[in-house]
Amino acid sequence: MPHAHHTLHWLWRELRIFIAISVATTVFFYVMNRDSFAANLIYSLCSTLFIQGLIEIGRYGLASLIRKRSPDNLEAQRNWPGWGLMAPWVVVSGVVGYIAGHMFGDLLTGAQHAPATIIDNPRAVLVSMTGVFVLSLGVTYFFYARGRMAAMETRTEAALRSAAESQLKLLESQLEPHMLFNTLANLRVLIAQDPPRAQAMLDRLIAFLRATLDASRSGSHSLSAEFARIGDYLELMQTRMGNRLSRQLDLPDDLVGLPVPPLLLQPLVENAIKHGLEPTVAGGWIRVSAQREGGTLVLSVRDTGAGISVGGTGPGALPPGDSRFGIQQVRERLAALYGKTASLELIAASDDEGGTLAIVRLPVS
């Protein structure tokens, strides 16, 4: 149905152009021939139809030939063969279309206005041909200008998409070193305290980085892959924290295939560990869950750690001393990908267990 609507819109636009040109040529022929307005309308419709048809056939045909020889030609891609070919074709189309249109008009009206009847009047022929050339050039330039505007809009949209993608890649490239530095800092401490556990943590780190390499290079992956990477990271942290860390991942079966940006929840899980659970002696638990609310995917990261200060409670609040990198990174990625249709909210948990709740909302693709 959208394709049919586009076709009808194109036909209506072309019809308006055709009517405007026909009215102009009707006035021109009326002044030249001094016949009835109805007869001149017939001649103008016929001439306009032939001239415009020949110009369009030549434009598309020549552009098609150029595309076969030079597929990268930008002008040919938007069906414009260039003025070097179109200028002589406009002259040919104008002369042939004018004569053919008048001859066809003679068949319809039974009159004799074909160029052969006015050959004895060079001034009339000159004026008629001049009018035809001006009309033909005007029609051609109109389509040329419209094509250039469409091409400029396409290039602008492509540039905006490229800028957004570049910004997104920059944000993703910043995420991996941030996570890696935190993990290596934990590993450095553990080497001195418990070498066997440090060895196990190093093995898990290698496996985690290997698993996330492909994900970080793609534009999106499934929600099940996102949860798998979070599970790998939490296993890595389990080696560091031992019994102080409990974890739970809740992913409904009907959501496993939904596409999400890779490593989107990683900074939120890191913040929950670094600012929530590690500062507390007893540790606590972290739960990562997903649910669907209408056309919105809701992802949440809940921990029972130190929580956020009362003064910082509310959407977007951060734990004291946080570098803000992780939260800001998630927000900027959401903005680059989804605009205002996605959000991140960070609030203090309202139950007795305390801690922090991070909620990401994004549209379901």
Domain limits for position 124: 2-159
Find the radius of gyration of the CA atoms of the chain: 35
pLDDT below 70 — which residues of the chain?
A: 1-15, 17-18, 22, 25, 28-36, 112-129, 131-133, 135-136, 139, 143, 147, 150-151, 159-179, 182, 211-218, 309-325
At 51 the pLDDT is 82
pLDDT of the residue at 316: 39
What is the tens place of the pLDDT at every residue in 246-272?
A: 999 999 999 999 999 888 898 899 889
Do residues 250 and 313 both lie within one domain?
yes
Q: Give how far Cα 182 sits from Cα of 175, 205, 262, 270, 271, Å.
A: 11, 12, 19, 9, 11
Q: What is the pLDDT of residue 18?
A: 66
Predicted pLDDT at 125 = 61
> How far is residue 365's CA from residue 362's CA, in Å, rounded to a whole number?
9
Question: What are the phi and psi torsion angles at 217 (to 5°)?
Answer: -95, -5
Please give the pLDDT value at position 170. Answer: 55
* 98 inside domain: yes
What is the C-alpha end-to-end distance of the chain, expressed in Å? 21
Q: Is residue 169 part of a domain?
A: no
Do 201 and 261 have their domain in common? yes
Q: In the listed set 114, 134, 159, which residue is the last one of a domain according to the structure? A: 159
One-letter-per-residue 3-state SS of 128-147:
HHHHHHHHHHHHHHHHHHHH
Secondary structure (3-state) at 123: helix
Are both 71 and 132 inside the same structural domain? yes
- Considering the domain architecture, whether residues 271 and 131 belong to the same structural domain is answered as no
User: Do 28 and 153 have their domain in common?
Assistant: yes
In a domain, 185, yes or no: no
Q: Which residues contact 255 (CB under 8 A, 6 or more apart)?
A: 223, 290, 291, 292, 297
Decide if 202 is inside a domain.
yes
Q: 226 and 325 in one domain? A: yes
248 and 352 belong to one structural domain = yes
How many separate domains does the chain show?
2
pTM for this model (two decimals): 0.51
In a domain, 50, yes or no: yes
Contacts of 235 (CB under 8 A, 6+ apart): 204
CATH number reported for the structural domain that contains residue 318 in this entry: 3.30.565.10
Q: Please check whether residues 50 and 100 belong to one and the same domain.
A: yes
Task: Decide if 184 is inside a domain.
Answer: no
Q: Strand 245-250 relative to strand 284-293: parallel, antiparallel, unpaired? A: parallel
Report the helix count and the strand count for the chain, using DSSP H and E: 9, 7
Q: Examine residue 171 and state whether it is found in any structural domain, yes or no.
A: no
Domain final position from 107, 139, 159: 159
166 lies in some domain: no
154 and 44: one domain? yes
pLDDT at residue 11 in the model: 64
Same domain, 229 and 124: no
Give, as one character, the DSSP assignment of residue 272. Answer: I
Statement to judge: residues 206 and 350 lie in one domain: yes
276, burial (CB in 10 Å: exposed 0-12, middle 13-18, buried 19+): buried
